[in-house]
């Protein structure tokens, strides 16, 4: 089931039946909103880690294995953080799937190959849940090491 915002429906009514071009524009708008919303959530999470004294090393790091939203160094531990956003913390946490965890592990392994201690580095995999009001909940060690 596809959901549409009031703005999408209002624009559709104003434009008449959606043509292929109109549907493509609506899809791009939704994609752009999701992208900007994701950036905002990642920024809020980065600020939460910064308040804890963690150093942000990388954002949206992409390796052959996949993408890692945020990478921090906190008290000598490399923290690979996946950011999920939904109306509630629980709904956000449910969006992290096993196949995604495997991709994050693969990408983290690739990232660690470029660090001084490589695979012997201390690591942690966190989940940062962002609710509909922009509040952040950090779940340390939310999923296991490879």
The whole model's pTM is what? 0.79
Query: Does residue 29 lie within any of the structural domains?
Result: yes
Dump pLDDT digits (tens) for 77-87: 999 999 999 99
Query: Does residue 144 lie within any of the structural domains?
Result: no
**Residue in this structure with the two tokens 């109109």, named with its chain if needed:** 22
H helices within the chain, ranges in order? 6-15, 20-51, 89-94, 98-112
pLDDT score of 14: 47
Dump pLDDT digits (tens) for 91-105: 999 999 999 999 999
Domain boundaries, position 70: 6-139
Per the structure, the count of domains in the chain is 1
pLDDT score of 47: 97
> Reduced to 3 DSSP states, what percent helix, strand and coil does the chain have, rounded to the nearest 5?
45, 25, 30
Dump pLDDT digits (tens) for 19-63: 778 887 877 877 777 777 788 899 999 999 999 999 999 999 999
- Does residue 136 register a pLDDT over 70? yes
pLDDT score of 18: 61
Query: Does residue 120 lie within any of the structural domains?
Result: yes
Residue 133 · residue 87 · CB < 8 Å: no
pLDDT score of 36: 75
Residue 105 · residue 63 · CB < 8 Å: no
Query: Does residue 124 lie within any of the structural domains?
Result: yes
Query: Does residue 146 lie within any of the structural domains?
Result: no
Look up residue 107 and give its DSSP letter. H
Residue 46: helix, strand or coil by DSSP? helix
Lowest model confidence (mean pLDDT) among 10-14, 94-98, 122-126, 139-143: 10-14
Q: What average pLDDT does the structure give for the chain?
A: 87
Domain of 95: which CATH number? 3.40.1350.10
Residue 82 · residue 126 · CB < 8 Å: yes
Query: Does residue 145 lie within any of the structural domains?
Result: no
Query: Does residue 127 lie within any of the structural domains?
Result: yes
Query: Does residue 1 lie within any of the structural domains?
Result: no
């Amino acid at each position: 089931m596809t959901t549409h915002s009031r703005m999408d429906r209002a624009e559709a009514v104003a434009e008449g039946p959606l043509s292929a071009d109109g549907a493509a524009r609506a899809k791009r708008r939704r994609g752009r909103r999701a992208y900007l919303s994701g950036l905002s959530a990642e920024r809020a999470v980065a600020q939460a880690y910064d308040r804890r004294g963690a150093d942000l090393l990388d954002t949206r790091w992409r390796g052959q294995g996949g993408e890692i939203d945020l990478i921090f160094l906190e008290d000598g531990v490399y923290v690979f953080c996946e950011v999920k956003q939904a109306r509630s913390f629980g709904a956000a946490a449910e969006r992290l799937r096993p196949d995604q965890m495997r991709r994050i592990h693969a990408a983290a392994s690739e990232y660690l190959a470029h660090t001084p201690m490589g695979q012997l580095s201390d690591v942690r995999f966190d989940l940062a849940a962002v609710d509909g009001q922009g509040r952040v909940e950090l779940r340390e060690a939310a999923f296991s090491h490879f």
